[in-house]
A and B are shown apart, each in its own frame.
Chain A
Amino acid sequence: MNFAALPARAAAAPGLARWGRHLTAQVLVDAGDQAVILAIRDGMLVSAGPAPSLMPRFDLALRFAPDGLVRFLANPPPPGWHDLMALMRHGALRVEGDLQPFMAHLFWFKGLFALLREDAA
């Protein structure tokens, strides 16, 4: 799970920024032993760094069950674990906080996390 490479990978993904052209948010990704802040401006992923242990600031949080995220990141992923909404169905992803940026830009979030899978391959 290489979050550090994600901004460059997102910038190179065709169409991704267009799906998120009005998306500006700070997003906490909590995956058990790893917590990352995604800083997003107008659909561009500006940074993806470790979340501060003290008083992290974010608009919404994506909290993954670690084993669910491992299955999601498999390439190819097993049926039923291949999409963010599939993880929600299993209870392996909880989205908390202001849901509007997430739902209004769902193609962007799905596209971004699929890029993380390519890193894991």
Chain B
Amino acid sequence: MIEPIIGRYLRLDLEGRTHRLYVEEAGQGVPLLLLHTAGSDGRQWRHLMNDAAVTNHFRCIAFDMPWHGKSSPPEGWQDGEYRLTTAAYTGMALAVAAALSLDRPVVMGCSIGGRIVLDLAAEHASAVRGVIGLQSSAFVAPYYDTEWLHHPHAHGGEVCAAVVSGLIAPSAPDRDRWETLWHYMQGGPGVFRGDLHFYKGEGDLRPKLARIDTARCPVVLLTGEYDYSCRPEDTLATAAAIPGAEALIMKGLGHFPMSEDYAALRPQLLAVLRRFAGIP
């Protein structure tokens, strides 16, 4: 069986440096830009991009962030430390949308992706149709020493996967639990930690939430109950600070709903996507 997902490479400049990004696409209709979690890649969206109930209505685009998956780090990477910032992440999402001529996409992201959609809604409402945040909150306080994620005395792939393993709900099927963890094991050295620079430090978006106008850019947040990184109470507090935002806490799901247990996410997500498909 050949899947309907098509992969290509995109060359574009980000923050003044040339990049080569890997982009996957499936479906036709309203553009839907998909953002993966920290330290992983676009394969997290594999089930959604094989779901005709989605791809019959949406042109789904999932790209690997620079340094992640099949996207390369920029030339000269060996001389510096990778650190994701709010400006770089927002600029990257807008640049990919522009390069692919996406007309005001719906943007759906998970974890760091769920965080950055809040910035897009606050600062670039005219460039997006609406945003969906999975495991989304405006801030997460550090609760372990991230130095261990990139340390010569610990295998980077194994420690990154082991750290996030508990964020998956106990009921997730083993096949998808371990595929989700395999993506983490394949991450480059220091990349997950570099993403957490944004997630647990620089990217505190709490001051921007009141600025979001949900009449211009609808906001829906879906969070799995087993996530102790972006906890349900973090998502509910974020939604409460955005007039008009909706939040739903999902039973039996953790931090990677689209990858760990798509069957459990699907009915709740399709209900949201049906509404977003009708946004002019």
Mark A residues whose CB is within 8 Å of B.
Answer: 19, 76-77, 79-80, 82-86, 88-89, 99-100, 103-104, 106-107, 110
Given A106-B163, A110-B162: A83 in contact with B148 (beta carbons within 8 A): no
- Quote the shortest CB–CB distance from B111 to chain A (angstroms): 15
8 Å CB contact of A83 from B145, B228, B231, B232: B228
A103 touches B159 (CB 8 A): yes
Q: Are B225 and A79 in contact (CB under 8 A)?
A: yes
Partner of B228, one of A19, A76, A85: A85
Q: What total of A-B pairs shows CB separation below 8 Å?
A: 55
Q: Is the CB of A104 within 8 A of B154?
A: yes
Interface SS of A by simple majority = helix
**Is B170 within 8 A of A85, CB to CB?**
no
CA distance A77 to B144 in the complex (A): 22
Give 1 or 0 for each of B125-166: 1 = CB within 8 Å of chain A CB: 000000000000000000111001001011100110111011
Q: Does B198 contact A (CB under 8 A)?
A: no
**Nearest B residue to A106 by beta-carbon distance?**
B162
Q: Is the CB of A88 within 8 A of B143?
A: yes
Most B CB contacts (10 A, CB to CB) among A77, A86, A103, A110 go to A103
The 8 A CB mask of B221-232 against A (1 = contact, 0 = none) is 000011011011
Q: 14 A-B pairs, CB-CB below 8 angstroms?
A: A19-B158, A80-B228, A83-B166, A84-B166, A85-B228, A86-B228, A88-B144, A89-B143, A89-B229, A99-B145, A100-B154, A103-B151, A106-B159, A110-B166
Chain B residues with a Cβ under 8 A of chain A? 143-145, 148, 151, 153-155, 158-159, 161-163, 165-167, 169-170, 225-226, 228-229, 231-232
Q: A86-B228, A104-B158 are in contact. List 14 more A-B contacts (CB 8 A).
A: A77-B170, A80-B231, A84-B166, A85-B144, A85-B166, A88-B143, A89-B228, A89-B229, A103-B154, A103-B159, A104-B153, A104-B155, A106-B158, A106-B159
- Bound: A85/B167 CA distance, A: 9
Instruction: Give the interface SS of chain B, mostly helix, strand, loop or mixed.
Output: loop
Q: Given the complex of chains A and B, what is the CA–CA distance between A77 and B226 in angstroms?
A: 10
| A99 and B148 in contact, given A85-B228, A106-B159, A107-B165 (Cβ under 8 angstroms) | yes
By the criterion CB–CB under 8 Å, are A107 and B170 in contact?
Answer: no
Task: Give the docked Cα–Cα distance between A89 and B226 (Å).
Answer: 13
**Chain A positions within 8 Å of B163 at CB level:** 85, 106
Within the complex, what minimum Cβ distance (angstroms) separates B188 from chain A? 19
Q: What residues of B have a CB within 8 angstroms of the CB of A100 in the complex?
A: 153-154
> What distance in Å separates the Cβ of B131 from its nearest Cβ neighbour in chain A?
25
Q: Which 9 A-B pairs have the closest CB atoms?
A: A83-B166, A106-B162, A104-B154, A86-B228, A103-B148, A89-B143, A79-B225, A107-B162, A79-B226
Chain A residues closer than 8 Å to B229, beta-carbon distance: 89
Q: Shortest distance in angstroms between A118's beta carbon and chain B's nearest beta carbon?
A: 13
When distances are taken between beta carbons in the complex, the residues of chain B under 8 Å from A106 are 158-159, 162-163
Q: Which of B226, B229, B231, B232 has the most CB of A within 10 A?
A: B226
